[in-house]
Amino acid sequence: MCGESCEEKHISLALPRATSGLAVVKNVPAEVCPSCGDTRFTLRTTGRLMALVRSGGAPDDMVVVPIYDLEKAQE
């Protein structure tokens, strides 16, 4: 977006998933701008991500994530 050359990296993404609320996908190939952080994916990667999120397959790993409600937090 800013005109800087993007770098090829493998990143982690948190994506919404209908069955479990959220899915974290590791090792996603992406082009990332070192200046503004803009992230781009190939059509193939985008298709693979969509298929993975829609699938009912078992995840490779599971973790417990604490969830905080800022409305309920004391100042």
12-54 pLDDT, tens digit each: 999 887 766 788 999 999 999 999 999 999 999 999 999 988 8
Whether the CB-CB separation of 19 and 2 falls below 8 Å is answered with: no
Rounded CA gap, 10 and 7, in Å?
10
pLDDT at 67: 84
pTM to 2 decimal places: 0.77
| Tokens found for residue 5 | 């050359």
Position with higher pLDDT, 2 vs 13: 13
Distance between terminal CA atoms of the chain? 38
